[in-house]
A and B are shown apart, each in its own frame.
Chain A
Amino acid sequence: MGENPKLRVTLLTGRTIEQGVGKERGKASKEYVESVSVCYMDPEDLKRLGIKEKTNVQVSTEHGSVVVKAVKSLRNPHPSVIFIPYGPWANAVVNPETHSIGMPSLKGIPAEVEPAPDKPILMLEKLLEEEFGKD
């Protein structure tokens, strides 16, 4: 076994209908958490990483790192472009730079993806605790 394969990609974030439905169910609902802790990838990219769908992957950018579940994107091809729906998981890795206009850079961020089958996806409470731990 060599080193874990890594893929350099462009990260997009945005809305999905599942996220929209989930958020209306409540941010604590299972539907919401499952709809936003995923990463849509091109099937070819999955092959390049040597993993199957629904394997956990670690997405890292200059601004942070987060474990999410890789899902095959239905609307491909979009090689080297990955998509994470808006939510706490996406926000762990997006670019806070506002270029002096108040708007962080939430789309088109350079990122790296690597397989992380053994790392768990943190649940919301754990994620908050890990990132901001308050007590």
Chain B
Amino acid sequence: MPVVKAVTCPVCGCLCDDIELRAENGKIVKVKNGCAMCESKFFGYSGHRLLKPLIRRNGELVEVSLGEAIKKAAKILSEANYPILYGWSSTSCEAIRVGVELAEEVNGIIDNTSTICHGPSTLSTQDVGMASSTLGQIRHRADLIIYWGSNPWSAHPRHIERYTAFPEGRFAKSAWKGYLTKIKASNVKKKIESALRRLQRKEKLSVSSLYACPYPALLKEGRKLVVVDVRRTRTAEIADYFIQVEPNKDYELLQALRALIRDQEVEVDDVAGIPIEYLEEIADVMVNCNFGVLFFGLGLTMSRGKLRNIDAALSLTRDLNMRTKFIIMPMRGHFNVTGADTVFTWQTGFPYAVDFSLGYPRYNPGETSAVDVLLRKESDSALIVASDPVANFPRKAVEHLVKNPLIVIDPHLNATAQMADVVFPSAFVGIEASGTAYRMDHVPLPLKKVVDPPRGVLPDEEILRRILSEVRKIRKRKQAEAS
């Protein structure tokens, strides 16, 4: 079989669309251009696979026919008063569209993984607004790249290589060579340090203290990469300058920077553990760049302050835009979480946590968001699509989720499926089914079907359509009986 080119990788929000695959006898045998997660997905997706629909009987999950599972799922959903339909960020926009229709039909709540991810970012964006662009703009123009509370080396492995510091842009040069020199230098530094350690066991002499001042690192020509995080991640090691902020102190740091770029005096010695002189230099670099970009991750949305941290970050870029050009973008995790937000928005007007219980869409995160509904023990059943909340929700929320009837649509028997009452195996979108997904900068990209799914295994969209039509049948029957 020939090589399939320009495959979109269905793993993270980078949605790299330059993957080349070779399949033989319905199996992928070669992956080119992908990162470790991409290779792991394309090579490993077929292992631990679920092939038959399952229903729980007497505490055990037993194999049943697809028709029976569809009937059971439709019965659970149409009997429920307040079902939660959750997940969505790892499936296609087409499937999500059917999901919203189903949520409206059963008067339930539909929520996607933004709720425990960049939900706070959405709330702040609605409050403050966001200056953003496509990743292509950043690739060609950005000369100052800041990652705040995000670790692309681990979560978006090709982000730096494809979109920010390392590509050769039309107007901004690649920082790749400088990085190689840095790695070599850091190896030499490590050797010197270990030699020093051996010489002076008692007195701690460190070469790193000489490097702590940001000025030399940030004076360099070309693209600069700055990382702000609570721990020294691998991304931090690549960076030209790393700011280690104390846990839960991001808000203070962002506000201090806002003051500094407005040329105000900050009358303290340090903020969040960073000396104010260093911050002044960083503020200088921010103001003096031609095209800066701030990518922020869950380090901001999950720690103390949550949406207020994002408020501060968005306001910081807004202030910076009075002096120069600055862009801000959340580092979206799942490959189609942006798509889930987008489809929800164009169908209901709201990006996540949408409640149909009154017959029309309502949105009030904190009230209508999945974790809160579960913590208040209000829902009475759930449908989970392409997600694993049992592994990803706090324990108290999971307790209520698994107490009620639970339906799962997923290619793998994940933790949630293990606790479910009805389980549907589904085809991997982007490998065994085609569709559309949105990259983190809201650019829609096509997902390709490269190999056939196992026999009898349907894509999420088809399974949802069948459940929806069964729910409608039950409704009609009930209406007929009532009249």
A residues contacting B by CB (< 8 A) are 10, 12-17, 19-22, 24-29, 63-64, 73, 75-76, 78, 81, 83, 86-88, 91-96, 98-108, 124-125, 128, 131-132, 134-135
| Count of A-B residue pairs with CB < 8 Å | 192
List, in ascending order, chain B residues with CB within 8 A of A87's CB.
391-392
Chain B 330-346, CB within 8 Å of chain A: the 1/0 string? 00010000000000000
- Nearest-Cβ distance from residue A27 to partner chain B, whole angstroms: 4
4 A-B pairs besides A20-B157, A81-B231 with CB distance below 8 A are A24-B11, A24-B44, A26-B44, A101-B369
Give the nearest-CB partner of A83 in chain B.
B231
Q: List 16 A-B contacts (CB under 8 A).
A: A12-B231, A14-B298, A21-B37, A26-B44, A27-B391, A75-B234, A78-B231, A91-B392, A100-B366, A100-B372, A101-B120, A101-B306, A105-B306, A108-B304, A128-B415, A131-B395
- Nearest-Cβ distance from residue A54 to partner chain B, whole angstroms: 20
Q: Are A132 and B419 in contact (CB under 8 A)?
A: yes
- Nearest-Cβ distance from residue B99 to partner chain A, whole angstroms: 18
Q: Are B45 and A24 in contact (CB under 8 A)?
A: yes
- Name A's interface SS: loop
Residue B254 CB within 8 A of the other chain = no
List, in ascending order, chain A residues with CB within 8 A of B298's CB.
14, 106-107
Residue B463 CB within 8 A of the other chain = no
Quick one: which of B37, B115, B302, B396 contacts A24, CB cutoff 8 A? B37
Nearest 7 interchain pairs by C-beta: A102-B369, A135-B59, A26-B48, A96-B394, A100-B366, A24-B41, A102-B365
Q: Are A10 and B247 in contact (CB under 8 A)?
A: yes
Q: Are B369 and A28 in contact (CB under 8 A)?
A: no
Q: Are A98 and B233 in contact (CB under 8 A)?
A: no
Q: Are B302 and A27 in contact (CB under 8 A)?
A: no
List, in ascending order, chain A residues with CB within 8 A of B299's CB.
14, 107
Q: Are A104 and B397 in contact (CB under 8 A)?
A: yes
- Nearest-Cβ distance from residue B364 to partner chain A, whole angstroms: 9
Give the nearest-CB partner of B369 in chain A.
A102
Q: Are A12 and B247 in contact (CB under 8 A)?
A: yes
Residue B414 CB within 8 A of the other chain = yes
Give the nearest-CB partner of B59 in chain A.
A135
Q: Are B303 and A94 in contact (CB under 8 A)?
A: no
Q: Are A102 and B119 in contact (CB under 8 A)?
A: yes
Chain B 373-404, CB within 8 Å of chain A: the 1/0 string? 00100000000000010111111111100110
B residues contacting A by CB (< 8 A) are 11-12, 36-37, 40-41, 44-45, 47-49, 59, 115-116, 119-120, 123, 151, 153-155, 157, 230-234, 236-237, 247-248, 298-299, 301-304, 306-307, 333, 353, 365-367, 369-372, 375, 388, 390-399, 402-403, 412-415, 418-419
Quick one: which of A26, A108, A131 contacts B398, CB cutoff 8 A? A131
Q: Are A128 and B390 in contact (CB under 8 A)?
A: yes
Complex CA gap A65/B236 in Å reads 31
List, in ascending order, chain B residues with CB within 8 A of A100's CB.
366-367, 372
List, in ascending order, chain B residues with CB within 8 A of A13's CB.
302
- Nearest-Cβ distance from residue A123 to partner chain B, whole angstroms: 11
Q: Are A124 and B415 in contact (CB under 8 A)?
A: yes
Q: Are B395 and A64 in contact (CB under 8 A)?
A: yes
Complex CA gap A128/B402 in Å reads 10
Quick one: which of B45, B153, B353, B402 contacts A102, CB cutoff 8 A? B353
Q: A26-B48, A27-B391, A27-B414 are in contact. Are A17 and B231 (CB under 8 A)?
A: no
Q: Are B395 and A76 in contact (CB under 8 A)?
A: no
Q: Are A28 and B414 in contact (CB under 8 A)?
A: yes
Complex CA gap A104/B395 in Å reads 11
Q: Are B301 and A103 in contact (CB under 8 A)?
A: yes
Q: A12-B247, A102-B370 are in contact. Are A20 and B37 (CB under 8 A)?
A: yes
List, in ascending order, chain A residues with CB within 8 A of B394's CB.
63, 91, 94-96, 104, 106
Quick one: which of B37, B48, B116 contacts A17, CB cutoff 8 A? B37
- Nearest-Cβ distance from residue B361 to partner chain A, whole angstroms: 16
List, in ascending order, chain B residues with CB within 8 A of A101's CB.
119-120, 123, 306-307, 365-366, 369
Residue from B298, B394, B396, B415 with most neighbouring chain A CB atoms (10 Å): B394
Complex CA gap A94/B123 in Å reads 23
Q: A20-B36, A88-B390, A108-B303 are in contact. Are A134 and B419 (CB under 8 A)?
A: yes
- Nearest-Cβ distance from residue A89 to partner chain B, whole angstroms: 9
Complex CA gap A134/B123 in Å reads 36
Q: Are A105 and B304 in contact (CB under 8 A)?
A: yes
Q: A63-B394, A96-B395, A101-B307 are in contact. Are A27 and B388 (CB under 8 A)?
A: yes
Q: Are A17 and B301 in contact (CB under 8 A)?
A: no
Q: Are A86 and B392 in contact (CB under 8 A)?
A: yes
Give the nearest-CB partner of A94 in chain B.
B394
Q: Are B44 and A125 in contact (CB under 8 A)?
A: no
Q: Are A26 and B412 in contact (CB under 8 A)?
A: yes
Q: Are B48 and A29 in contact (CB under 8 A)?
A: yes
Residue from A64, A92, A124, A134 with most neighbouring chain B CB atoms (10 Å): A134
Q: A81-B247, A101-B365 are in contact. Are A91 and B119 (CB under 8 A)?
A: no
Quick one: which of B47, B116, B304, B396 contacts A25, CB cutoff 8 A? B47
Q: Are A14 and B47 in contact (CB under 8 A)?
A: no
Q: Are A104 and B116 in contact (CB under 8 A)?
A: yes
Q: Are A103 and B116 in contact (CB under 8 A)?
A: yes
Complex CA gap A26/B367 in Å reads 33
List, in ascending order, chain A residues with CB within 8 A of B372's CB.
98, 100, 102
Quick one: which of A107, A124, A131, A134 contacts B303, CB cutoff 8 A? A107
